[in-house]
Structure 1
């Protein structure tokens, strides 16, 4: 959460924070936030601190969202799909007129880099909190930005950013540049609309996929091509400009820890860059802003290869990772945005007065399953406990969800961010690790354990050693490191103890009839809990429990584990679940453990585990086990939807012969496109869906036959 802790180094006095109306400025009294999730909450908090009334907008999926409840007022803007709500310019402008807003803040994503929307805001009498539409067209469009930077003698990567967008021209330019290349949508961001192409055979499929994804996310499918620079670092400079020709930078961020162009961990300042290169990058960033008469917050991104750097793009908006800059400078970037949009000068115009202190890391928490190719995981946040993190010093939590909320398949899977600060880089990274280890999240697949493994990897702890392709090249190793065989049997004992305490607590609140438990809590095993068999992956563990006051002993095969439960509480969570929180004396240690139970599933949290938690199935029936192994191939030669989404493109027709790995269709979920492929050589018997269909998880989409075409 944004708190006074952030401002411990702020150079802006309290007196300066009052709204100053002049002939050049217009005071913002009411602000509409044209966004959702954590960034909407982030903007609302700063606006309210400045005594600015806030207005939220929301789609049908976000009716009870956190940003809706946090704002002073909220208005519906349409159905759940972004094209019908958060990308619906006219509807948002209508709400702004209705509520008499003074200004509109676009956040990031959605309409934040849409020049036409910025222009429409001004034409309708609203302040657009961002750069002018002309600056946005100049620098927000990757093709035009490259032309401007080339003319300013800033190094750019060899590529193509021309008007001719035909398949033939793009392929010809790719062959001229030479494989491998990076294909990017002109309006791409967050890894969307971007594809690496390594050879000619995959060019058309990846081009069409990138176009489709970009059109869905940004409403624009134009492409540029760049020569792929292997093993480069992603370093960006935060800049600010005002309407009076003043420009400053707020140092650099290193965003090299990314997977397929999706940033995972960012830090500031960027480590291990020579002073000469650092000065040159900052100078180039200021030049970029000056060339475009840029106002407000902007980020100039570079690829850094040793001491060489190349202009990548300029983001004409607030970045997801802006909090790490705030943490090292003590400057509230959203406040600066609002002041500059009001017509004020930069709060600090002397570059030497802006100082950096300490080091900061940010980790992005995504509803994605790393073990299934980082597929988005929409669903309900059954348990989401941030209480331990809220007590940590110099730590920020930027979240857009709370326990019980639904993570929708219609939007980006970002749940929130953890931002840590400390006096030096090593301490800041350790603080981030400790925060991740104590974050308890259940109900949707997520990347917390993967982030923990990444925090512990020598490549991240060694300054400047991470590059943009490292995670892609070592993802299997990083996933393998999650396994923690040493603690598996002990964790099974803790799962058993937690279930035992949860069942006992439930029975305390009912009559002598154990089936009269009013809260509906059940575990599919003996109510007494004397014996429990759990499964973790391919490993089965059976435990027998014996209790003597607060002492418990567990028999696991021929081994016996003894421990003392010093303190325990049992709480309810969403969907009838229970969580047992325990202080356990085990050996010479006192360890905090949480055991969470939902139906036949258990999760045991403990900071001693490599991935912070271990999952178990409790007495899982055989039919559930066989079903869990099917995945997207649903049996009987049916290809099923791996998650809820919209059918984007159907590639095959009935009667067509396909080879193993051939793309059958593509679907869009959580703003990303997925290809469903043939699991074996086959004939397409039937296509059971149409482009544009909205389908639930498990819906049958294509029927395959290994023999002759069916006659159904």
Structure 2
């Protein structure tokens, strides 16, 4: 029996595992890096052990420190969560060598699937349909997909449509794979356009029982990372489902799999091909739990203790949809955001698996996912409506997120019709412009109400010559509004817009103003009446959009470049981000070099216009 479990992870998944352990009387041990010292998962665990350092390489990827932490805290088992060392056979062996229970498949099974190149060969031998593997050194036919052999989650993955792009994409994929998984090995596959990403949840005990616990569709992706997942798939009928389940069970049987895992496929029409086996719990496991009424983490723990699965899995009921809420800006190439999350509240009858709360600091060192929001309903459309409403009504203050995009996906006709594929976000333009004027007016009125003299708002005059004005910034856009201070109310401002009364809820954090309404949400910054003098940037200056590390410098001083040309590549929050020239001209100054750390706003290069 497991008495004390060390969770070799952080954030959302650590809190998720703690929740199940508390329900089952198992004590928990959290581990935490320097930036995570005050994180919710640390406070919620029974014990916590510090891993000195900030980067994953120094902390959550140190198998020796994690095993020592388990010993120090008196843990008798280790759960790896997902990501980090969850699919590292060496870590699993180190745990078992230390006399601890590993909550996961055997190290040999992890190793068998750890290399996607070797895994594909093994699956083909087991009769599982696979795509042909292409050697990166001899690729001649395009388009192709470059993939990291040692990992997943979209890292180390690139789509290449032209031969001229291949060399740079290959180098970039290898760098990202090395950074994320410690292994730069990549391989190539033919790119299946307009295919669906469908996966089967498997659960296997040590007594020979294997469940195929339904399928999930995860086709809505950005940067090859899933952001919307659902179960069951709208594209899978009974005949396809039977074949998918048979292939997944065959895959599990070929490696003697034990525990929870996922077999992933690409589905086009009625044909599917093997992608990979994830030898761990998946991020999107909640949709399976809600549809089948099971706790997969509890079953992981019970299987590790030697429990038997019933002969048949529970039957599915209804439909579940999950979205991943990220601190990122879809309008600027999914640029991740870091800083203070002042307010975080998601209402409604939904499941919220989050790693953050009011006041949490989102660090530059880790993936920017804030939470998973999941809705379950009798039908797919009902689940989508419930989830979209909860997201639209959420209060998320302090950081830009992908919340609006997720709502737009859930309300899109093509999504509601089940017409989804991995190129969905490329095919459909989901950018939406919001008129900032009503939001700015509501912000001005709320701000005026906080500056009262007695019962009168500041700016009120007995005889008015003109209305007071307020200025805000929405991104780089300056917005100026006139307002009547007699209409001022502090937190909720009701405006009459074309005959419809619309409430606007206003929250202020120093110069940051967050405005939420049924018509959307907007972040504004107050323009001070007497702004501090600022250093003027040279024309053509390019600044760092976020803190990060320079992993490639693509130009030389004196080089001629076109507008939109790549100047350098930054790594931030586990992903690479290209920094592009804003104008054509000559690289007059190059102020960074490879491996250099930069802060947001640092000048990186200056391109003088020709």
TM over 0.5: yes
Show structure 1 runs of 4+ deviating over 6 A.
583-590, 620-627
Residue 302 of structure 1 contacts residue 311 of structure 1 at CA under 8 Å; is this kept in 2?
yes
Tell me by how many angstroms 1:243 deviates.
Answer: 1.2
Compared with structure 1, are the counterparts of its residues 328 and 124 closer, same or farther at alpha carbon in structure 2 (3 Å cutoff)? same
- Aligned residue number for residue 83 of structure 1: 57
- Aligned residue number for residue 256 of structure 1: 219
Tell me by how many angstroms 1:660 deviates.
Answer: 4.4
d(CA) in 2 for partners of 1:680, 1:661: 7
**Is residue 471 from structure 1 mapped to residue 386 from structure 2 by the alignment?**
no
**Is residue 431 from structure 1 mapped to residue 386 from structure 2 by the alignment?**
yes
List per-residue Cα deviations over 1:496-530 (Å, max 9, x = no partner): 332233334xx679xx999xxxxxxxxxxx9x995
**Is residue 266 from structure 1 mapped to residue 232 from structure 2 by the alignment?**
no
Compared with structure 1, are the counterparts of its residues 603 and 210 closer, same or farther at alpha carbon in structure 2 (3 Å cutoff)? same
2:544 equivalent among 637, 641, 653: 641
Unaligned runs of 5+ in 2: 459-463
Tell me by how many angstroms 1:261 deviates.
Answer: 1.0
Residue 29 of structure 1 contacts residue 52 of structure 1 at CA under 8 Å; is this kept in 2?
yes
- Aligned residue number for residue 207 of structure 2: 244
SS in 2 for 1:92: helix
d(CA) in 2 for partners of 1:621, 1:691: 41
SS in 2 for 1:190: coil
Residue 230 of structure 2 contacts residue 322 of structure 2 at CA under 8 Å; is this kept in 1?
yes
List per-residue Cα deviations over 1:640-665 (Å, max 9, x = no partner): 22110112233444455545444332
1:532 equivalent among 451, 463, 470: 470
**Is residue 170 from structure 1 mapped to residue 136 from structure 2 by the alignment?**
yes
- Aligned residue number for residue 291 of structure 2: 328
SS in 2 for 1:495: helix
**Is residue 484 from structure 1 mapped to residue 418 from structure 2 by the alignment?**
no
1:594 equivalent among 505, 516, 524: 505
Residue 583 of structure 2 contacts residue 607 of structure 2 at CA under 8 Å; is this kept in 1?
no
- Please give the root-mean-square deviation of Cα atoms over the aligned residues, in Å: 2.9
SS in 1 for 2:157: strand
Alignment of 1:188-267 (within 5 A): 188-267=151-230
For structure 1, which segment, 257-266 or 282-291, has the greater mean C-alpha deviation from structure 2 after superposition?
Answer: 257-266
d(CA) in 1 for partners of 2:35, 2:152: 23
Residue 440 of structure 2 contacts residue 479 of structure 2 at CA under 8 Å; is this kept in 1?
no
Residue 274 of structure 1 contacts residue 307 of structure 1 at CA under 8 Å; is this kept in 2?
no
Residue 188 of structure 1 contacts residue 194 of structure 1 at CA under 8 Å; is this kept in 2?
no
2:67 equivalent among 81, 93, 105: 93
d(CA) in 1 for partners of 2:407, 2:328: 15
Compared with structure 1, are the counterparts of its residues 29 and 589 closer, same or farther at alpha carbon in structure 2 (3 Å cutoff)? farther
Compared with structure 1, are the counterparts of its residues 456 and 655 closer, same or farther at alpha carbon in structure 2 (3 Å cutoff)? same
Alignment of 1:223-622 (within 5 A): 223-346=186-309, 348-351=310-313, 354-386=314-346, 389=347, 392-393=348-349, 395-463=350-418, 465-474=419-428, 477-479=429-431, 482-485=432-435, 488-504=436-452, 530-534=468-472, 540=479, 542-545=481-484, 547=486, 552=487, 580-581=491-492, 592-607=503-518, 609=519, 612-619=520-527
Compared with structure 1, are the counterparts of its residues 581 and 90 closer, same or farther at alpha carbon in structure 2 (3 Å cutoff)? farther
Residue 500 of structure 1 contacts residue 529 of structure 1 at CA under 8 Å; is this kept in 2?
no
Residue 59 of structure 1 contacts residue 76 of structure 1 at CA under 8 Å; is this kept in 2?
yes
d(CA) in 2 for partners of 1:256, 1:34: 29
d(CA) in 1 for partners of 2:44, 2:229: 27
List per-residue Cα deviations over 1:598-631 (Å, max 9, x = no partner): 4444332112x1xx2134454467989999xx9x
What's the TM-score, normalizing by structure 2? Answer: 0.92
SS in 2 for 1:63: coil
Residue 260 of structure 1 contacts residue 472 of structure 1 at CA under 8 Å; is this kept in 2?
no
Unaligned runs of 5+ in 1: 1-26, 161-168, 515-525, 553-564, 571-579, 708-712
d(CA) in 1 for partners of 2:308, 2:574: 37
Residue 104 of structure 2 contacts residue 304 of structure 2 at CA under 8 Å; is this kept in 1?
yes
Tell me by how many angstroms 1:128 deviates.
Answer: 1.4
What's the TM-score, normalizing by structure 1? Answer: 0.80
SS in 2 for 1:255: strand
Tell me by how many angstroms 1:705 deviates.
Answer: 5.0
For structure 1, which segment, 281-290 or 586-595, has the greater mean C-alpha deviation from structure 2 after superposition?
Answer: 586-595
List per-residue Cα deviations over 1:412-458 (Å, max 9, x = no partner): 01011111111111111110011101111121111111111111111
